[in-house]
Amino acid sequence: MIKIFTLNLTIDRVYYISGFTAGKVTRPEKMYRWPGGKGVNVARVLHTLKTPAELVGFIGGDTGEFFKLGIKTEVLKFVPVPIRTPVRECTLIIDPQNQDQTVINELGPLITRAELARFNRTYHRAC
């Protein structure tokens, strides 16, 4: 089994807006919100290839609960390392008309020494 250790999970909010222009009110044609981050993308690819994988990462707050539900729905194995800070959210605006995208990435969580120690214990147990 491949272990994927990720320190900065996210909830991706993706909006599709043709002809997007900053500074004006607009409505998306479609949108979705789901667990994201590079480690999650790696886990998804491995799952698609039928390669056993397990994602390990910091998780906290309401967004962390949403993340866990989304990962479970995708049938991806996930080992949460609890933290007090919520999982960050990132916003992507996809403009299909101009073949462009705008990405707004929130800052990642501040990790306490105790949370980092918990992550290290999880890491060493997994390896």
At residue 51, does pLDDT exceed 80? Answer: yes
Q: Span 35-64, mean pLDDT? A: 95
What whole-number distance in Å separates Cα of residue 116 and Cα of residue 122? 10
Question: Does the pTM of the predicted model rise above 0.75?
Answer: yes
Strand 53-59 and strand 30-36: pairing? unpaired
Q: Span 47-51, mean pLDDT? A: 95
Q: What is the pLDDT of residue 39?
A: 95
Q: What is the pLDDT of residue 125?
A: 87
* Adjacent-strand bridge partners of 3: 54
What whole-number distance in Å separates Cα of residue 86 and Cα of residue 88? 6
Q: What is the pLDDT of residue 33?
A: 96
Q: How many Cβ atoms are within 10 Å of 92's Cβ, its own excluded?
A: 16
Task: Kindly report, residue by residue over 68-119, the tens digit of the pLDDT.
Answer: 999 999 888 999 999 999 999 999 999 999 999 999 999 999 999 999 999 9
For 8, the enclosing helix (H) or strand (E) is none
Q: How many Cβ atoms are within 10 Å of 27's Cβ, its own excluded?
A: 7
Q: Span 47-56, mean pLDDT? A: 95
Residues making up the chain, counted from first to last: 127
For residue 71, give every residue at least 6 positions away whose Cβ sits within 8 Å of its Cβ, in sequence order, or none.
35, 40, 55, 78
Q: Which pair of tokens denotes residue 23? A: 């500074």
Residue with tokens 């990405």: 103
Q: What is the pLDDT of residue 15?
A: 98
At residue 127, does pLDDT exceed 80? Answer: no
Task: Kindly report, residue by residue over 52-78, the tens digit of the pLDDT.
Answer: 999 999 999 999 999 999 999 988 899
